[in-house]
């Protein structure tokens, strides 16, 4: 036909939740000394590996379970153990899945002994059974190659346009360590447990690197010795920063993601004053959204045949800057009717968030969920009791540009959680949540996929043709209508340059030889 279609490929990627699974982990803890009363049971989960095969993905991790108890001598003790778990998830449409990443969270931790009454003739136990439910979520990049018409070569002409297309380019997973020495109460005689959470404050993209800044929150459950031994909480925070070296990333790109705790190592020292050395393994999980400019043939014409274009739909991922913020939650809750009256709260541990629901609206995101925490309290009879407090919460985060068409992802972590007793059976819960909220919208656009060759054009053999330009008619429109190249029109009509005005007269002398 005297011309060839020039095709190029565009790699489109979408980030999708590929599947999720709930895994029950049963832990049996052997105690150093027999327990008179189990005061608290908490669990944390950490992922260790994600192995992908052709059609499924195996996620392995470990659950670290901690119990705090009162032993037969009325002393406070704690015990921890680690148990591995595995989740096998099928990859639907696995051929298109380019890369995968996993996340996990504890949904529930239960210990039957927490409900046992403290009695003078209590039966002591040397083992404690704790059941935890872990939810594993699999995220992946699903890609497809889209062929489009980039140009026409030979005896034809293309009208070229440029479009900026943003797409997920890759998943990120970076592990690093943050450490700090924490000063404890001067009367601290021992540490029973440590709860650690992390929250991102800022993500910045530069040439070939991404800068992360955030906060690590450490809640220490300890024993204080005075006239009597009591357990108490000690809250601490310290900053972290990390630079990720990422070849190919630019300042115009954006990164969304969240930070998770991958492991905690603590060492208590009491040289001149009680201190706790804390080393936290952090894992940043996220994705890069990259914008690329493509040039394509918005329209084509041949001087021998009628041509038309078929269209293909492409995704254009628009991402708002990620919002990294904190939200203060205050709420009252009433203890169950059969619970004793509370004298004072001794400690709070194992705080976590579940049941997250995200509601986008114009200019704001409503974040709903349930905050859970294990508390140890003293009742009016001077006996110690335990209770798992669960409080629903709702908070609004203002984000400029967000609307109901956005897909919203959020990481919500308790930064700290305080519970106070009020009026016998009422509790006042004062907590701070760290939120990392990413808002993404997938806009669609059409670009040409291929050229369809139509009927042959009827040749105009007249020696001279005069064409009068109409309103809003471009030089390309005229060239396509009269089957003469734009360059030849300009060559023979230098008065119109590259733009036409209504009423312009265009003269075509056909005795001239036109070369394409």
Supply the pLDDT for residue 73: 84
Supply the pLDDT for residue 134: 95
Would you call 427 helix, strand, or coil by DSSP? Answer: strand
Supply the pLDDT for residue 122: 57
Average pLDDT over residues 351-373: 93
Spatial contact of 189 and 229, defined as CB atoms under 8 Å apart:
yes
Question: Would you give the DSSP letter of residue 322?
Answer: P
Closest CA to 495 of 469, 471, 462: 469
When comparing pLDDT for 516 and 484, which is higher?
484
Q: Name the pairing type of β-strands 3-52 and 426-456.
A: unpaired
Supply the pLDDT for residue 511: 63
pLDDT tens per residue, range 2-20:
789 999 999 999 998 899 9
Would you call 469 helix, strand, or coil by DSSP? Answer: coil
Half-sphere exposure of 110 (CA within 13 A, CB side): 7
pLDDT band for 516, please (50, 70, 90 cuts). Answer: very low
Q: For residue 381, is pLDDT > 70?
A: yes
Would you call 482 helix, strand, or coil by DSSP? Answer: helix
Average pLDDT over residues 372-395: 87
Non-local CB neighbours of 80 within 8 Å, separated by 6+ positions: 29, 64, 65, 66, 193
Q: Which two tokens stand for residue 457?
A: 């054009």
CATH superfamily, region 458-509: LysM domain (3.10.350.10)
Supply the pLDDT for residue 226: 75
CA-based Rg of the chain, rounded to a whole angstrom?
33
Which helix (H) or strand (E) segment holds residue 499: the answer is none
% of the chain with per-residue pLDDT over 70: 96
Q: For residue 216, is pLDDT > 80?
A: yes
Q: For residue 479, is pLDDT > 50?
A: yes
Our CA angle for 392, 395, 399, nearest 5°, is 150
pLDDT tens per residue, range 399-419:
999 999 999 999 999 999 999
Rounded to whole angstroms, what are the CA distances from 197 to 53, 79, 214, 433, 434? 32, 20, 11, 10, 9
Which helix (H) or strand (E) segment holds residue 489: the answer is helix 486-492
pLDDT tens per residue, range 47-96:
999 999 888 999 999 999 999 998 888 889 999 999 999 999 998 878 88
Supply the pLDDT for residue 424: 76
Supply the pLDDT for residue 120: 47
Supply the pLDDT for residue 117: 53
pLDDT tens per residue, range 126-149:
899 999 999 999 999 999 899 999
Exposed, middle or buried by CB within 10 Å (0-12, 13-18, 19+), for 332?
Answer: exposed
Q: For residue 512, is pLDDT > 70?
A: no
Query: What is the distance between the alpha carbons of residues 355 and 357, in angstroms, rounded to a whole number?
Result: 6
HEC assignment per residue over 371-418 = EEEEEEEEECCCCEEEEEEEEEEEEEEECCCCCCCCEEEEEEEEEEEE
In sign, the C-alpha dihedral spanning 67, 71, 74, 77 is negative
Q: Parse the chain into domains and list their residue ranges.
A: 9-143+168-290+318-444, 458-509
Q: b/e for 140-175, b at 16 or more Cβ within 10 A?
A: bbbbeebebbbbbeebbbbbeeeeebbbbbbbbebe
Would you call 94 helix, strand, or coil by DSSP? Answer: helix
Q: For residue 220, is pLDDT > 50?
A: yes
Closest CA to 348 of 216, 197, 221: 221
Q: Which two tokens stand for residue 204?
A: 């910045």
Rounded to whole angstroms, what are the CA distances from 298 to 288, 306, 310? 29, 15, 11
Query: What is the distance between the alpha carbons of residues 460 and 516, in angstroms, rounded to a whole number?
Result: 18
Maximum separation of any 2 CA atoms in the chain, in Å: 118
Would you call 497 helix, strand, or coil by DSSP? Answer: coil
Query: What is the distance between the alpha carbons of residues 66 and 438, in angstroms, rounded to a whole number?
Result: 33
């Amino acid at each position: 036909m005297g011309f060839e279609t020039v095709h190029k490929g565009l790699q489109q990627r979408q980030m999708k939740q590929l599947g999720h699974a709930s895994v029950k982990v049963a832990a049996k803890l052997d105690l150093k000394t027999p327990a008179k009363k189990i005061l608290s049971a908490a669990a944390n989960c950490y992922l260790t590996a994600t192995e992908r095969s052709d059609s499924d993905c195996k996620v392995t991790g470990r659950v670290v379970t901690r119990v705090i108890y009162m032993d037969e001598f009325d002393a406070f003790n704690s015990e921890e153990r680690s148990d591995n778990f595995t989740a096998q998830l099928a990859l639907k449409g696995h051929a298109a899945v380019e890369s995968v990443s996993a996340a996990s969270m504890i949904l529930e931790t239960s210990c039957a002994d927490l409900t046992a009454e403290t009695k003078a003739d209590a039966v002591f136990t040397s083992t404690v059974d704790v059941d935890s439910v872990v939810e594993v979520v699999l995220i992946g990049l699903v890609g497809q190659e889209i062929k489009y018409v980039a140009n026409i070569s030979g005896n034809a002409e293309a009208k070229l346009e440029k479009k900026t297309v943003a797409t997920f380019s890759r998943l990120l997973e970076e592990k690093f360590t943050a450490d700090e020495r924490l000063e404890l109460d001067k009367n601290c005689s021992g540490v029973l447990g440590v709860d650690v959470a992390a929250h991102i404050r800022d993500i910045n993209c530069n040439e070939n690197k991404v800068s992360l800044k955030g906060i690590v929150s450490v809640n220490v459950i300890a024993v204080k010795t005075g006239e009597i031994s009591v357990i108490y909480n000690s809250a601490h925070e310290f900053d972290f920063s990390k630079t990720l070296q990422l070849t190919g990333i630019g300042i115009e790109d954006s990164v969304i993601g969240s930070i998770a705790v991958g492991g905690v190592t603590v060492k208590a020292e009491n040289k001149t004053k009680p201190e706790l050395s804390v080393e936290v393994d952090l894992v940043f999980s996220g994705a890069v959204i990259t914008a690329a400019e493509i040039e394509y043939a918005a329209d084509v014409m041949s001087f021998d045949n009628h041509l038309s274009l078929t269209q293909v739909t492409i995704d254009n991922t628009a991402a708002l800057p990620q919002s990294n913020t904190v939200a203060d939650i205050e709420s009252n809750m009433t203890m169950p009717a059969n619970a004793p009256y509370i004298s004072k709260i001794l400690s709070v541990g194992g705080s976590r968030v579940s049941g997250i629901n995200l509601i986008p609206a114009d200019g704001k995101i409503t974040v709903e969920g349930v905050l859970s925490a294990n508390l140890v309290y003293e009742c009016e009879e001077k006996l110690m009791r335990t209770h798992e407090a669960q409080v629903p919460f709702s908070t609004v985060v203002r984000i400029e540009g967000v609307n109901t068409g956005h897909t919203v992802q959020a990481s919500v972590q308790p930064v700290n959680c305080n519970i106070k007793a009020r009026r016998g059976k009422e509790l006042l819960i004062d907590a701070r949540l760290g939120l990392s909220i990413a808002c993404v919208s997938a806009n669609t656009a059409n670009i040409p996929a291929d050229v369809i060759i139509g009927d042959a054009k009827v040749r105009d053999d007249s020696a001279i043709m005069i064409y009068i330009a109409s309103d809003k008619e471009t030089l390309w429109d005229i060239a396509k209508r009269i089957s003469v190249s734009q360059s030849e029109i300009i060559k023979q009509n230098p008065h119109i340059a590259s733009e036409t005005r209504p009423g312009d007269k265009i003269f075509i002398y056909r005795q001239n030889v036109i070369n394409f």
